């Protein structure tokens, strides 16, 4: 993947190209007019990962420009600043290099630096090594942490030293003036473009208003990004996620926002669909892990829900045919997609039973070809 070239004066041009491409790709489904949500043209990523390159006494951040015709051909690109990254990251980049360059303890076999920041300026820096981290490293890292006013985590093979905490707290004020707070854990997925995430959450709240008499089921809920923002639009919410770390963080985020009508269950979308179809999980011959699944399903008390809406935010592969087929059971579908190709495949599968009522493009990743879309579908009468 090429290192993005940021040219703010060209931003409207690149956004128009994305809008035109999405409009053309989905035209045969006859969707409503595309709603387009722009990103800041620069300094929009709140998290970034860099290789740390050692050349003699010199030390610098690096990314790789990969030849699309020959992926094995990688060119090292030196980065002293990175206009894609948040202003806080750009502020820290030279300060960290300066501190590391002349410190043999912190520098030795350091090969990667990860930054995680927030709109309010919190910063967590992960230093990743090809060696064991000892008490001497921790002493130096604590000095660096105080000097830069950041939180530091040291990582190496089978080792993770958290000096203060392993997360930041992001505060997002939406366009309807509602504010939500999110714990975002180091080395876990979070939406990288916080300003566009604000717009995604505002849009999702808007398209699900008037649903208080029904319940929402959310698949692939992550750390509760949508769960937290949408809970007040529904009577009850049941969210599912397979990652143990994400489930724990989602629960913390529900508590932090004083939400008491949502539950997060640790299970895959496929397991939930199986449970909803009342297929027996805890059979006599089941393994112990399946018995645990059976107990989790019972604890969810699915019979108490009246699901009217489903929200899916799947990975780039989209939904498989069977999972997509099960969406037909819901009156309303909110589909968040990071891959227009698989989104189109899924929408074509649903077009005979559901109509597209709202269609949005969220420019999460300016200066790349990636497009994030939001679709509201409602069952045809």
Instruction: For the sheet with 58-67, list strands across it.
Output: 70-79, 58-67, 47-55, 110-117, 123-129, 151-156, 159-162
Structure tokens at 322: 């069977």
Return the pLDDT at 294: 54
Complete DSSP assignment for 121-157: --EEEEEEESS---HHHHHHHHHHHHHHT-EEEEEET
Structure tokens at 245: 């770390």
Per-residue pLDDT of the chain (381 residues; tens, 9 = 90+): 568 889 999 999 999 999 999 999 999 999 999 999 999 999 999 999 999 999 988 999 999 887 777 777 888 999 999 999 999 999 999 999 999 999 999 999 999 999 999 999 999 999 999 999 999 999 999 999 999 999 999 999 999 999 999 999 999 999 989 999 999 999 998 999 999 999 999 999 999 998 677 999 999 999 999 999 999 999 999 999 999 999 999 999 999 999 999 999 998 877 887 777 764 444 333 444 555 555 555 556 788 888 999 999 998 889 888 889 989 999 999 999 999 999 999 999 999 999 999 999 999 999 999 999 999 999 998
Structure tokens at 256: 């932090």
Alpha carbons 123 and 170: distance in angstroms, whole number: 10
Alpha carbons 312 and 343: distance in angstroms, whole number: 11
Report phi then psi at 71, rounded to 5: -55, -20
The number of beta carbons lying within 10 Å of the beta carbon of residue 186 is: 21
Return the pLDDT at 308: 93
Return the pLDDT at 135: 97
DSSP character at residue 85: B
The number of beta carbons lying within 10 Å of the beta carbon of residue 288 is: 6
Return the pLDDT at 284: 36
Return the pLDDT at 2: 67
Is 338 a catalytic site residue?
Answer: yes
Alpha carbons 181 and 232: distance in angstroms, whole number: 15
Do 361 and 37 contact (CB within 8 A), yes or no?
yes
Structure tokens at 304: 């108490």
Which candidate, 102, 3, 115, 111, places its Cα nearest to that of 49? 115
Catalytic member of 48, 221, 324, 338: 338
What global pTM score does this model have? 0.90
Alpha carbons 28 and 230: distance in angstroms, whole number: 31
Do 51 and 375 contact (CB within 8 A), yes or no?
no
Catalytic member of 271, 371, 372, 373: 372
Do 169 and 181 contact (CB within 8 A), yes or no?
yes
Return the pLDDT at 68: 74
Handedness of CA 230, 256, 248, 288 (dihedral sign): negative
Alpha carbons 370 and 339: distance in angstroms, whole number: 7
Return the pLDDT at 263: 94
Q: In DSSP terms, which residues pair with 239 in a beta bridge?
A: 218, 264
Given the structure tokens 């309807």, which residue do they identify?
Answer: 176
């Amino acid at each position: 993947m090429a290192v993005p070239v940021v040219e703010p004066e060209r931003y409207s041009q690149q956004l128009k190209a994305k809008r035109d491409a999405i409009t053309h790709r989905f035209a045969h489904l006859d969707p409503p007019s595309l709603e387009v949500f722009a990103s800041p043209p620069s300094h929009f990523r709140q998290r970034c990962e860099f290789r740390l390159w050692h050349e003699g006494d010199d030390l610098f951040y690096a990314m790789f420009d990969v030849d699309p015709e020959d992926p094995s051909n990688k060119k090292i690109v030196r980065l002293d600043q990175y206009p894609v990254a948040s202003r806080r990251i750009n502020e820290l980049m030279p300060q960290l290099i300066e501190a590391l360059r002349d410190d043999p303890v912190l520098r030795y076999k350091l090969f990667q630096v990860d930054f995680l920041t927030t709109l309010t300026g919190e910063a967590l820096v992960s230093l990743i090594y090809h060696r064991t981290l000892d008490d001497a490293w921790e002493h130096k890292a604590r000095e660096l942490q105080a000097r830069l006013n950041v939180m530091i985590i040291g990582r190496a093979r089978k080792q993770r030293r958290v000096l203060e905490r392993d997360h930041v707290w992001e505060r997002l004020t939406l366009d309807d003036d509602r504010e939500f707070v999110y714990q975002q854990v180091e080395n876990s997925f979070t939406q990288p473009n916080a300003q566009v995430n604000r717009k995604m959450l505002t849009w999702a709240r808007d398209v699900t208003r008037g649903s208080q008499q029904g319940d929402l089921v959310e698949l692939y809920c992550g750390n509760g990004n949508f769960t937290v923002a949408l809970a007040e639009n529904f009577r009850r919410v049941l969210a599912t996620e397979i990652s143990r770390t994400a489930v724990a963080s989602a629960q913390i985020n529900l508590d932090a926002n004083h939400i008491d009508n949502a539950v997060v269950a640790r299970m895959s979308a496929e397991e939930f669909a199986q449970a909803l179809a009342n297929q027996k999980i805890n059979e006599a011959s089941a393994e112990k892990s399946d018995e645990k699944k059976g107990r989790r399903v019972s604890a969810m008390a699915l019979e108490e829900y009246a699901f009217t809406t489903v929200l899916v935010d799947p990975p780039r592969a989209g939904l498989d045919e069977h999972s997509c087929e099960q969406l037909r059971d819901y009156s309303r579908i909110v589909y968040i997609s990071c891959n227009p190709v698989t989104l189109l495949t899924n929408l074509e599968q649903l077009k005979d039973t559901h109509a597209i009522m709202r269609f949005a493009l969220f420019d999460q990743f300016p200066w790349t070809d990636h497009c994030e879309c939001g679709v509201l579908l409602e069952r045809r009468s």
